[in-house]
Structure 1
Amino acid sequence: MRTFFLVVALCFYGSICFGQQFSYKPKNPFFGGDTFNYQQLLSSAAAQNGLTAPTTAQEQESDLDRFGRDLSGQLLNRIERELSAAQLDGLNITEEGTFTFGNLNVEVFETFEGLVINILDTTNGEETQVIVPN
C-alpha cells in the first residue's frame, strides 16, 4: 500500500511542474538578428573556410619574367604585322570575296550591319566573325 501511495504521489508531482514559453531570436543579422553579430559570424566563417583562391602564373612570375614575356610578345606582333603587310600588299580588304592564308579561310562581304569578315581555321574548324559597322 505504501508503494501505491508513493507511485500516485510521484504522478501528481510530475503533473504539477511548471514550464515557460519558448522564444526564438535569430543570430544572423540577415534574418532579423542583432547587427553586432555580423563581424563575429563573418570571422567565424572565414576561419572555417578551407578554400583558397587559385594563384595564376602571372601572379607568381617576377617583374623581370613579365617584362621578358611582354617584350617577346611585342616582337612577335611586329613580325606578324610586317609579314601580313608583305602578304597583303596590293589587296584591298574591303573587296568582297574569299581569301586563303595558310590554314585560314577569310570570307569578306557587305551586309546592312556593315562589313562582315568570317575567319575559318580549316585545321580544327574554329570560326570567328568580325563585323565592322558602317
Structure 2
Amino acid sequence: MKKIIILTTLFYPSLLLASELVYTPINPSFGGSPLNASMLLNKAQSQNKHKAHTVEKTYAERLQESLERSYINKIVRELTDLAFGEDPTDNVFGQDSTFISGDYEIKMITSNSDSITVQITNLINGEITTIEVPRFTP
C-alpha cells in the first residue's frame, strides 16, 4: 500500500500539468503561416542537388535566334499597324505574303477587308495554327 501511495504522489503532479497535443502546421499549403513559404522554399532549393543540363550555343546560333526574333517582331508591328487602320500602301503587308522562318511557314492573308488572317504551319509535323486579327477602321 505504501508503494501505491508513493507512486501516486510521484505521478499525480505530472498528470495535472499534461494537456492535449495541438498540431500547428508549418507549411502554408496545409494551413501554416504564409511567412514560412520563403524559408521552406529556400531549404528545398538548398537540398536540391540536381542541375539542369545546359548546352552552350555557338555565336552563329545566337545570331540566328536574334535575327528570327527581330524578324517576328517586325511582322507583328506591321500587322498591328495594318489592323489598326494605318495606310496599307505604307505597310509591307499590303498584299498576301508567305514567309518561311526555321521550321515554320507563315502566311499573311490581308486581302480580306474585315480581318487579317495569319496561318502558321509547322513544316515538320504539318500542324496548322490560324489566327484572325480583326481590322479596326477609324
TM range (shorter): 0.3 to 0.5
Task: Give the TM-score, by structure 1 length.
Answer: 0.40
Which of 1 and 2 has greater Rg? 1
Task: Give the TM-score, by structure 2 length.
Answer: 0.39
Higher RCO, Cα 8 Å, sep 6+: 2
